[in-house]
Amino acid sequence: MKFLLIYPKWEKLDRQTRFILPPHGPVVMAAALPADVEVQFIDENVEPLDVNTDADFVGISTMLTAQVKRSWEIADAFRARGIKVICGGIATMLHAEEFEKHADSVFLGEAEGRMEQVFDDFRAGGLQKIYNYMQNFPPIESVGPARRSILNRELYNYRGVQMVDLFHASRGCRFNCYPCCVRFLGGRSFRPRPFDKVVEELAGIDNNRLFIVDNSLAQDREWEMELFKEMIPLKKKWCAHPIEDDDKVLDLAAQAGAWFVYQTIFDSSDFIRDRVKRYHDHGIAVEGSILLGLDYHTEDYIKRWMDFLLEIELDMAEFTILTPFVHTRTFDDLHHEGRIFSYDWSNYTCGKVVFQPKLMTPEKLQEMYYYCWDRFYEEEPANYKMFKMLKKVMDKEKADGTYKPRVRK
Ligand code: B12
Ligand code: SF4
């Protein structure tokens, strides 16, 4: 049976350096498929999708809200040809009711241990409209190595340089930050994978460079230190979300190959200045994640903040606009206050203003978004900063003998 698994196209942030990472949800889901299912994977972000292609059954994996409308178009096209479509992934869980209108079946939750049932039902002609496993998580031990063999890896590089492979050592997050929907998805429970499974998967990845996509590594100090100790012999180089702000942990992270972190820079305090400095002191680069449009942001505040960002020598920065994704506290507040003026999910890229800011016009906030990108990369353009980041990883690899020049064929 041929199962065609699709990752729909989504719009990248304006001004962001153009490179495409491989998606993780579909390759993890593919690992949970019954052994007799032949899977063909198309990532529409790097290759064209022909909606007239042959398939017995189609799966669509949707991660972002900005992707959902394309997912629906694709689902509608296959269903018009009589091919059954199942949808799953993060944004499917967030927009479940809307997906029900476009899919034969909507899968909510994590795939491990559940795909046999789905495929048995499909074969028996009894596919269910909804498989709802929300907050009913499979045992974390059942998460196997992602099935990266379905990816066309040659397509994921930046100017011929090998990009990262995605990997996760845990699921869930115990925090509940204002703009984030992970609480809704993961119920605030932190679920680390067993170390033997983590090491087995890491050792099997034919790429020295990784993006550890765990929501935040800084959730359990002991676990984090153990994870880094286990990783040291593997000599991988990796980027991740925040690491615990603690010299001992940062030291272990550096030994374990920490290359750079995505760190939210929420203000211009000494705390942030020192936080960034501590990463740098351990040889870990910092890509700042800067969210614009909070209720206390004014034009002047953002401009002064921008100067601060340049002063603390962030290695890279990603500017985004506050976006009221469904199932977040941001959505609840802004929707309740009647401040959202666009519910067109294609605008929910984090690069477009879809709500009325408190102390600015929407146009001014949009202008400030471009101001920040342009100002931050004025003296050293993004391509140059990106090259410096890549050079850092190459230097680390050369120092421990793991450097492999890999260029596009
Ligand atoms: C990796 C990641 C990225 C990568 C994506 C790489 C790629 N090529 O796609 C990158 C870094 C590019 C990225 C970017 C963004 N991201 Co992001 N990202 C994530 C992250 C950290 C992990 C996703 C993941 O891989 N999870 C692990 C996999 C295994 O889980 P999963 O996808 O749920 O898959 C399981 C199930 O869903 C199921 N499943 C999956 N697919 C299918 C399909 C079928 C048919 C079935 C049956 C089942 C099924 O099986 C899997 C195994 O159980 C999540 C947060 C999180 N931890 O979930 C945020 C997250 C998805 N991102 C988010 C956001 C906001 C963004 C940005 C828009 C903004 C930003 N700056 O972060 C940008 C994009 C900006 C732009 N327009 O350019 C939000 C989503 C909000 C939304 N509603 O859209 C999240 C939830 C983070 C958050 N804190 O809120 N992101
Ligand atoms: S933003 Fe990150 S740390 Fe905060 S709740 Fe979401 S996943 Fe957790």
Residues 98 and 215 in one domain: no
Measured in degrees and rounded to the nearest 5, phi and psi for residue 288 equal -75, 140
Pairing of strands 84-88, 57-61: parallel
In a domain, 83, yes or no: yes
Angstrom distance (rounded) from CA 353 to CA 347: 8
- DSSP output for 246-281: -HHHHHHHHHTTEEEEEEE--S--HHHHHHHHHHHH
- How many whole angstroms from 23 Cα to the centroid of ligand 1? 8
Decide whether any atom of ligand 2 lies within 6 Å of the 177 Cβ.
yes
Residues 89 and 208 in one domain: no
Which pLDDT score is estimated for 245? 96
In a domain, 67, yes or no: yes
Closest residue CA from atom 26 of ligand 1: 25
Pairing of strands 209-212, 130-132: unpaired
- How many whole angstroms from 327 Cα to the centroid of ligand 2? 13
In a domain, 244, yes or no: yes
Residues 175 and 259 in one domain: yes
Ligand 2 atom with the smallest distance to the CA of 242 is 3
Residues 154 and 122 in one domain: no
Number of domains in the chain: 2
Residues 174 and 289 in one domain: yes
Pocket of ligand 1, beta carbon within 6 A? 11-13, 16, 21-26, 28-29, 59-61, 63-66, 86-91, 94, 107, 110-112, 168, 180-182, 213, 215, 318, 320, 325, 349-350
Closest residue CA from atom 46 of ligand 1: 88
Measured from the alpha carbon of residue 185, the closest ligand is: 1
Which pLDDT score is estimated for 409? 45
Residues 132 and 207 in one domain: no
Among 98, 124, 140, residue at a domain's last position: 140
Measure the CA angle with vertex 54, ends 49 and 59; round to 5°: 65
Residues 159 and 229 in one domain: yes
Measured in degrees and rounded to the nearest 5, phi and psi for residue 166 equal -90, 150
Which pLDDT score is estimated for 37? 97
In a domain, 404, yes or no: no
Residues 215 and 344 in one domain: yes
Measured from the alpha carbon of residue 217, the closest ligand is: 2
User: What distance, in Å, lies between the first and last C-alpha atoms of the chain?
Assistant: 32
**What's 228's domain CATH number?**
3.30.750.200
In a domain, 314, yes or no: yes
- How many whole angstroms from 164 Cα to the centroid of ligand 2? 22
Decide whether any atom of ligand 2 lies within 6 Å of the 189 Cβ.
no
Place of tokens 């495929």: 119
- How many whole angstroms from 177 Cα to the centroid of ligand 2? 5
Q: Mean pLDDT in each 10-residue stretch from start to end of the chain (409 residues)? A: 97 87 97 97 97 97 98 98 98 98 98 98 98 96 97 84 91 94 91 97 95 96 98 98 97 98 96 97 97 98 97 96 98 98 98 98 98 97 92 92 72
Which pLDDT score is estimated for 33? 98
**What's 63's domain CATH number?**
3.40.50
In a domain, 406, yes or no: no
- How many whole angstroms from 218 Cα to the centroid of ligand 2? 10
Residues in the chain: 409
Among 84, 117, 140, residue at a domain's last position: 140
Q: Which of 10, 90, 188 to mutate to test the pocket of ligand 1 (most atoms within 8 A of CB)?
A: 90
Closest residue CA from atom 2 of ligand 2: 215
Angstrom distance (rounded) from CA 299 to CA 375: 14
Decide whether any atom of ligand 2 lies within 6 Å of the 271 Cβ.
no
Domain hosting 79: range is 2-140
Decide whether any atom of ligand 2 lies within 6 Å of the 312 Cβ.
no
In a domain, 407, yes or no: no
- How many whole angstroms from 176 Cα to the centroid of ligand 2? 6
Q: Are 326 and 335 in contact (CB under 8 A)?
A: no
Angstrom distance (rounded) from CA 119 to CA 131: 12
- How many whole angstroms from 405 Cα to the centroid of ligand 2? 35
- How many whole angstroms from 213 Cα to the centroid of ligand 1? 9
Nearest to 275 by CA among 306, 303, 247, 254: 247
Which pLDDT score is estimated for 407? 54
- How many whole angstroms from 323 Cα to the centroid of ligand 1? 15
Residues 165 and 124 in one domain: no
Measure the CA angle with vertex 286, ends 379 and 200; round to 5°: 140
Decide whether any atom of ligand 2 lies within 6 Å of the 215 Cβ.
yes
Residues 28 and 58 in one domain: yes
CA 207 and chain centroid, separation: 19
Among 140, 163, 194, residue at a domain's last position: 140
In a domain, 405, yes or no: no
Residues 168 and 271 in one domain: yes
Question: What are the CA-CA distances from residue 66 to residues 224, 317, 318, 326, 346 (Å)?
Answer: 32, 21, 18, 12, 5
Residues 161 and 192 in one domain: yes
Q: Spell out the residues 6+ positions from residue 280 whose beta carbon is closer than 8 angstroms to its own.
A: 286, 313
Measured in degrees and rounded to the nearest 5, phi and psi for residue 170 equal -155, 165
